[in-house]
A and B are shown apart, each in its own frame.
Chain A
Amino acid sequence: MVLQLLSAGAAGAVEHAATPSWAMFAYLVSGVLFILALRGLSSPATSRAGNRYGMIGMLIAVATTLVTHFPAVVNPDGETPAAIEHGLQTVPDFGSFGMIFAAIAIGGGIGFVIARRIAMTAMPQLVAAFHSLVGMAAVLVGWAAYLNPQAFGIAELTEVAGSEVSGLSADGASAFASAAVVLKIHAQSCIEMGLGIAIGAITFSGSIIAFLKLAGKMSGSPIMLPGRHVINLGTIIAILGLVGYFTMDQSLWVIGLITLLAFIIGFLLIIPIGGADMPVVVSMLNSYSGWAAAAMGFTLHNSAMIITGALVGSSGAILSYIMCKAMNRSFISVIAGGFGAAPEASGGAPKEQRPWKRGSAEDAAFLMKEAESVIIIPGYGMAVSQAQHALREMADVLKKEGVSVKYAIHPVAGRMPGHMNVLLAEANVPYDEVFELEDINSEFGQCDVAFIIGANDVVNPAAKTDKSSPIYGMPVFDVDKAKTVMFVKRSMGGVGYSGVDNDVFYMDQTMMLLADAKKMVEDIVKALAH
């Protein structure tokens, strides 16, 4: 399809003006403010100021764009004296301006209401949903740039012989049969745009699947298609090939096919990944949304977008790396998927019934009251049963009894990086009582009670000892060194996401507290009161 066929006369009028230098500077400032927004997150104390820097940066970027690209129409009625004098004239188009404001108001209103109402436990799926919006916005912007490349200043008018127009023809092409002027998008912009659309589309469909899995609207267990590696690799190669071809043939079908294949590959990539690997997936999609923004920034020659894209892209990539390392799994094996499949009675001895001890809330309360130090290890189960408030109450009572209480958080606990920290913060747990794995692991030797609530794989000693275990090599908490281990768990039947049995259940010093996490903690609080 032709983007536009124009006679040489009209061509000059729609020439795109270069971005003024003050605007380039303003975009740079907003890029720097975004850097400061992330920098602020190095400590909770500075984080709130950082978030404000981010908002100011966004405001500057939006305002600059609206000023430099104030909607205008060329010669709306051709009758005005100015138009007659100067030929073509642009006048402000307040209708479009109003529509843009309406669009911002609608989107902003929806976003604001969602942000206010969302439960903290639903944060992983909210982040996934937000990622999908960035992805879709990138696709839409890419398509808009393709359909109206002059507005983005990425195309130039090229004279071609009439015969060469074939395949690119739009209505009216025949009128310029001899020597038409065709709008051709720069080859470089084609690649940037094609990649931006592809990455955006992958982000969109991948995030939708991640959202459905995290929200429990779709089974969290991996769905394996036969020959999926071949299909995936083939599709990715096809997309790259099409992006290359797009530089030569700017037909609608090429960009359409790129978009379609990218939607499909995003879907296929996330479908086989299990629930426990979601922290990696969410971080990875975070990274993709950044690269999509960066690709669009290249197309638009916009420094704010490029800086942001690079920041977000590297942020997501680093988070994925941290998550993978915390599970001792390679990024490739996570992407290849399949972790967390139904346990296939994996290797080892068949599950014999081993003896374990069941405790009651009263026993737990008694032991913890007598203890000097308690370390609480929360996991996804705490999030599911919303036990964080009850847990903090329990800790408060214990602290009043003179017990030292600390929280230990594994990097992959929960369904997204930092998931447990947010929930504890919501329950008013001071952040200086919350410790990371490497900072607290040496303390289990001196601790009286390790209180495990809703976690499983992150305390499994098999990760240290059993080379055949799927979680071998993953750093875990040394709870076996604690004098007493209390394990809050719904039943003995279920095992962690890895599907591995846990030796901690059967240790002499372990007391299994079988109940819903929230109910058990509330019962302990009641028992402590006596």
Chain B
Amino acid sequence: MDFISILSIFVLACFVGYYVVWSVTPALHTPLMAVTNAISSVIVVGALIAAAASGLGAAGGVSKWLGLGAVVLASVNIFGGFAVTARMLAMYKKKEKK
């Protein structure tokens, strides 16, 4: 992909983000932060590429280990973020109809 198509995706996604986030009910702002936190760990994609690469020399070896470290950190976030969001969302209940 060339730079301009990437930039287009980015700019349009910013607008989508703007409208989607304004529609989030304030009561769910904490779960919003937790889930955005989890999805921003999509950076794990970069970490996986680094960890999977064939190391070229010493620098490549270091790169691989840095990648593995990043995979650990991002995984904490992915699993922790989604799990804690699910836990919070499970608590929001409507008034019980008696």
Contacts and interface: CB of A to CB of B under 8 A. Distances in A.
Interface of A: 1, 3-4, 14, 24, 27, 30-31, 34-35, 37-39, 41-45, 47-48, 50-51, 54-55, 57-58, 61-62, 65-66, 69-74, 90, 93, 96-97, 99-100, 103-112, 114-116, 118, 120, 123, 126-127, 130-131, 133-134, 136-138, 140-141, 143-145, 147-148, 150-152, 170, 188, 282-283, 286, 289-290, 292-294, 296-316, 318-319, 322, 409, 411, 416-419, 421-422, 425-426, 428, 430-434, 436
B15 to A, nearest CB: 8
B10 A298 contact: yes
A295 to B, nearest CB: 10
A74 B55 CA distance: 10
Interface centre among B23, B33, B49, B78 (most CB of A within 10 A): B33
B56 A150 contact: yes
Contacts of A24: 1
A120 B69 CA distance: 28
B3 to A, nearest CB: 7
Given A115-B87, A314-B17, A430-B95, A3 B45 contact: no
A137 B44 contact: yes
B51 A96 contact: yes
Contact of B69 (A131, A140, A315): A140
Interface string B8-43: 011101101110111111111111111111111111
Contacts of B47: 137, 140-141, 144
A96 B57 CA distance: 16
A524 B16 CA distance: 48
Nearest to B70: A140
B42 to A, nearest CB: 5
A423 B51 CA distance: 40
Interface string B78-98: 111111111111111111100
Contacts of A99: 51, 68
Interface residues of B, number: 85
Contacts, number: 401
Contact of B66 (A38, A93, A114, A144): A144
Interface of B: 1, 3, 6, 9-11, 13-14, 16-18, 20-57, 59-60, 62-64, 66-96
Contacts of A62: 44-45, 48
B79 to A, nearest CB: 4
B25 A417 contact: no
A411 to B, nearest CB: 6
Interface centre among A73, A426, A431 (most CB of B within 10 A): A431
Contact of A286 (B33, B50, B87): B33
Nearest to A37: B35
Nearest to A27: B45
Contacts of B9: 303, 306-307
A165 to B, nearest CB: 16
Interface of B is mostly: helix
Contacts of A133: 41, 73-74, 76-77
B45 to A, nearest CB: 5
B56 A4 contact: yes
List the 9 closest pairs (A to B, CB-CB), nearest first.
A107-B75, A111-B80, A418-B29, A151-B53, A144-B50, A314-B17, A417-B29, A310-B13, A115-B83
A127 B33 contact: yes
A31 B42 CA distance: 10
A62 B18 CA distance: 26
Nearest to A5: B57
Given A310-B10, A431-B27, A300 B36 contact: no
Nearest to B55: A148
Given A34-B42, A54-B82, A123-B30, A137 B36 contact: no
Contact of A107 (B22, B73, B90): B73
Contact of A61 (B45, B80, B85, B90): B45
Given A137-B47, A147-B63, A131 B76 contact: no
A421 B28 contact: yes
A422 B50 contact: no
A129 B31 CA distance: 15
A93 B45 CA distance: 18
A138 B45 contact: no
Given A107-B79, A130-B37, A133-B77, A421 B29 contact: yes
28 contacts: A30-B42, A35-B20, A41-B31, A47-B92, A48-B86, A51-B86, A54-B85, A58-B44, A73-B54, A103-B51, A104-B71, A107-B73, A108-B75, A114-B80, A114-B84, A116-B83, A133-B77, A144-B50, A150-B53, A293-B40, A306-B13, A308-B39, A309-B10, A311-B20, A417-B29, A421-B29, A426-B91, A433-B95
B47 to A, nearest CB: 5
A130 B54 contact: no
Contacts of B27: 44, 409, 418, 421, 425, 431, 434, 436
A42 B89 CA distance: 12
Given A103-B72, A416-B33, A430 B53 contact: no
B31 A431 contact: no
B88 to A, nearest CB: 6
A111 B79 contact: yes
Interface centre among A50, A108, A148, A422 (most CB of B within 10 A): A148
B52 A310 contact: no
B63 A144 contact: yes
A122 B90 CA distance: 17
A23 to B, nearest CB: 11
Contacts of B10: 294, 297-298, 306, 309-310
Contacts of A294: 10
A405 to B, nearest CB: 11
